[in-house]
Amino acid sequence: MQGTEKEYMEARQQRSKTLKKIMSLVGVVSFGGTALFGMANMFKTAFQESQQVETVEVVSVEERLQKLEKGYEKVLEREPENVTALEGLVKVRLEMGDKERAIAPLEKLVNFYPDREDYKVVLEQVRLEVKENN
């Protein structure tokens, strides 16, 4: 009887080992699949968010420049000789790529301060660029 009992115990241990291996394999595959799915979802979401952020930034920069331009124009309606507003308007229009409209406030700055060489240089550069583009 001891032989049969021993064989039974060995067979039982073998089945137990096999069952443990199968359960371990199922656990590892499940964990790996879940981790991969989570990581793929994370990268997908991050990629979509980065595209949305870039679009929002571009729109917000353009809107910000337009708001700044309107603000400087309102100041200049009340105070036509406000140097800070004139300089800001020139800068904003140049950032927007609107060089033709930057010439008028630059001319005012040169007229108000004829001894300022920096205003004259910028005015001449802008005029040349406008002529080259036309």
Listed by start position, the domains of the chain span 2-133
Q: What is the DSSP letter of 114?
A: T
Give the count of alpha carbons within 13 A of 122, CB side only.
19
Q: What is the mean pLDDT of the chain?
A: 84
CATH ID of 2-133, from 1.20.1640.10, 3.30.450.40, 1.25.40.10, 1.10.730.10: 1.25.40.10
pLDDT of residue 42: 77
Q: Which residues, other chains included, contact 113 with Cβ-Cβ below 8 Å and sequence gap of 6+?
A: 83, 119
Helix 99-112 × helix 117-133 angle, to 10°: 150
pTM over 0.75: no
pLDDT > 70: percent of the chain:
87
**Residue where the block lists tokens 């997908």:** 44
The pLDDT score that the predictor gives to residue 58 is: 60
Q: What is the mean pLDDT of residues 92-116?
A: 91
In which band, very low, low, confident or very high, does the pLDDT at 49 lie, cut at 50, 70 and 90? low
In terms of residues, how long is the chain? 134
Q: How far apart are the first and last CA of the chain?
A: 108
Predicted pLDDT at 1: 54
Alpha-helical (H) ranges within 1-134 are: 2-78, 83-96, 99-112, 117-133
pLDDT of residue 63: 87
pLDDT higher than 60, residue 74? yes
Average pLDDT estimate for 61-84: 90
> How far is Cα 55 from Cα 63, in angstroms, rounded to an integer?
12
What lies within 8 Å, CB to CB, of 68 at 6+ separation is 88, 92
